[in-house]
Structure 1
Amino acid sequence: MAARSGLAGPPPVRVSGFEEAWDGLDTGLRDSDYVLAYGFLADWAPRDLACPELIRLLGTEAERFEQLSHDESKRRFAASRVLLKRVAAAALGAHPGQLELARNPNGRPYIRGCGQLEMSLSHTAEVMVVGLSRRGAIGVDVESAKRSVYGRGLEDDVCTQHERDALEWLPEEDRNAAVIRLWTLKEAYSKALGHGLRLPFHSFGFTTPLAATGVPRLLRVDGSPGNDAGWQFETHPLPEGYTVSVAVEPAPAGSRPQAHAGALIDGRVTSAVLGCYLKDEAKANAAAQATAAEGARGQG
């Protein structure tokens, strides 16, 4: 597509719920070594917060879920974790109930027994974005493209002096979008490195292209080219009015990532009924058959 000129990675794929078949995620992970997926809270918030199947599906995250005091916070938490599990399961050809989420000391989520798959999660307002990578660490960040940030002090907090000077050369109507691109790129890179908010955003920069689809390049503080060591950076506009940025670490030399859960996860299998999301028993049975077929392909 013309709108993706210069971008080498896969575009974000919208996923609307448990009842979809997502063969494209497996293909994207195999062809590009990473995938991006996004969903909306309205599609992923559970109908019943007390549903036993939801608690089982959350697994080790259930304790954090139960500690939340407000129902809205619980819905957002559950929606993001279930989306993360469902996307990982679809990409791996597994059942969501097979996958157990955990967090490393830096707070980065991962699948137990599936160390070759890196993941990242971001959300804002009503949208959630998941990034999965088999090549190395990945970070994603999402922000509303309509959010007014330029001239409100954000560029002073997140931009180098070189970036602020570059913003002044842009047409005034393009500056807000450019700040959002820089902000989300820095958030994504920081997440991928495992530093979170501990990495000063003034300590590195990115190019500020005129085109929203231009390929970002890492810069030093003074604006000279940085040593990106093969990292891939991209920014994608979502049709629903959001901006998604991703940072992906290159694969180690000589590595050959595996494509399916059968080669990645250990043999301990749990199960979870998806009735707290599906609308009737017939659809639940159909979904169970579909996920069983996905798992069989992954083991083949």
Structure 2
Amino acid sequence: MRSDIVDVWLADARVPDPALPDMLVLLDDDERRRHASVVHAIDRRRFVVAHAVTRRIVGAVLDAPPGELRWAHNPNGKPALCGRYTGVEVNLSHSGDLVMVAVSARRPVGVDLQRVVPALDCAAMARRFYPPAEAADVAGGGGHELFAELWARKESLVKAAGARLTRGLATPVAGPAPVVVEHDGPFRIEDLKAPEGFRAAVALAGEDPFTVNQHAYG
């Protein structure tokens, strides 16, 4: 994998019930504790699938047993591979029944998948969180699609930087993709192809161009 390529997989969390035990066994103790704390059954299913799929993808990239991968978290909660199997940057996003996993050879990566929510008061949300110019664009006709597109870009930036979401939401990211923004250093953001009703983006540390390869998992 070259350093200027990021691979992104899209997976469906609606797997058959018999597949879940084999997925659950791949999770580590921390992931199992988090899984057990999830209240709703559908969310527990999505959690298991998202984390098991991530482990299987990364295991295939590194030629490593998925269940032996280990993660460390920075103070803001961003995970990074640690222990015996390292060598790539990984990020995960899930929204509804969909899961996205991004893998980069060396540059810190963030990926985000956002559902377009027609019932959301997107103009009010944009006024609260976005810079004034972006909020005006959302209220002035961009609507729910633009709101979700900008949110996906901002969250992918935050995840690549390992930073806090509130600050990232205030960072301007509008304009034709790709966009290069400053967030304690430069980050380059690309929009991704996403299923109807979703928006997605990926960000890598640094301003240098990169190529995105998108894959369907499974």
Indicate the TM-score class for this superposition, using the shorter chain for normalisation. Answer: 0.7 to 0.9
Residue segments in structure 1 that go unaligned for 5+ positions in a row: 1-28, 219-225, 252-300
> For each residue in 1:77-104, what CA deviation from the matched residue of structure 2 results, as whole angstroms up to 9, or x when unmatched?
1111101101111222333234234433
Partner residue, 2:45: 75
Superposition RMSD in Å: 3.0
Picking from 13, 18, 26, the partner of 1:57 is: 26
Contact kept in structure 1, 2:24 and 2:48, CA below 8 Å: no
Partner residue, 1:188: 156
Q: 1:240 to 1:32 in 2, by over 3 A?
A: farther
Once residues 32 and 46 of structure 1 are traced to their aligned partners in structure 2, the CA distance between those partners, rounded to angstroms, is 38
Q: 1:227 to 1:162 in 2, by over 3 A?
A: same
Residue segments in structure 2 that go unaligned for 5+ positions in a row: 208-218
Contact kept in structure 1, 2:123 and 2:138, CA below 8 Å: no
Picking from 109, 113, 125, the partner of 1:154 is: 125
Partner residue, 1:35: 7
Q: How do 1:164-243 and structure 2 match up within 5 A?
A: 164-167=135-138, 172=141, 174-199=142-167, 201-202=169-170, 204-209=171-176, 214-218=177-181, 229-243=185-199
Q: 1:148 to 1:31 in 2, by over 3 A?
A: farther
Partner residue, 2:89: 118
> For each residue in 1:147-183, what CA deviation from the matched residue of structure 2 results, as whole angstroms up to 9, or x when unmatched?
45565412112321122345567xx3x4432222111
Contact kept in structure 1, 2:12 and 2:98, CA below 8 Å: yes
Structure with greater strand share of residues: 2
Partner residue, 1:66: 36
Looking at CA atoms only, which structure, 1 or 2, has the larger radius of gyration? 1
After TM superposition, give the deviation of residue 190 of structure 1 in Å.
1.3
Q: 1:175 to 1:216 in 2, by over 3 A?
A: farther
Q: 1:46 to 1:188 in 2, by over 3 A?
A: farther
Partner residue, 2:58: 88
State the AA in 2 paired with 1:206. Answer: V
Q: 1:155 to 1:80 in 2, by over 3 A?
A: same
Partner residue, 2:108: 137
After TM superposition, give the deviation of residue 126 of structure 1 in Å.
1.0
Q: 1:217 to 1:162 in 2, by over 3 A?
A: farther
Q: How do 1:89-108 and structure 2 match up within 5 A?
A: 89-108=59-78
Q: 1:167 to 1:208 in 2, by over 3 A?
A: farther
The alignment partner of 2:102 has SS state of: strand
The alignment partner of 1:235 has SS state of: strand
> For each residue in 1:59-78, what CA deviation from the matched residue of structure 2 results, as whole angstroms up to 9, or x when unmatched?
23223223445432321111
Contact kept in structure 2, 1:167 and 1:208, CA below 8 Å: no
Contact kept in structure 2, 1:129 and 1:140, CA below 8 Å: yes
What TM-score does the superposition give when structure 1 sets the normalisation length? 0.58
Q: 1:250 to 1:208 in 2, by over 3 A?
A: closer
> For each residue in 1:205-240, what CA deviation from the matched residue of structure 2 results, as whole angstroms up to 9, or x when unmatched?
02334xxxx32343xxxxxxx588542211123144
> For each residue in 1:105-142, what CA deviation from the matched residue of structure 2 results, as whole angstroms up to 9, or x when unmatched?
32222223244422211111111111122222211111
What TM-score does the superposition give when structure 2 sets the normalisation length? 0.77
State the AA in 1 paired with 2:26. Answer: L
Once residues 151 and 47 of structure 1 are traced to their aligned partners in structure 2, the CA distance between those partners, rounded to angstroms, is 39
Partner residue, 1:248: 204
Equivalent pairs, count: 206
Once residues 49 and 184 of structure 2 are traced to their aligned partners in structure 1, the CA distance between those partners, rounded to angstroms, is 34
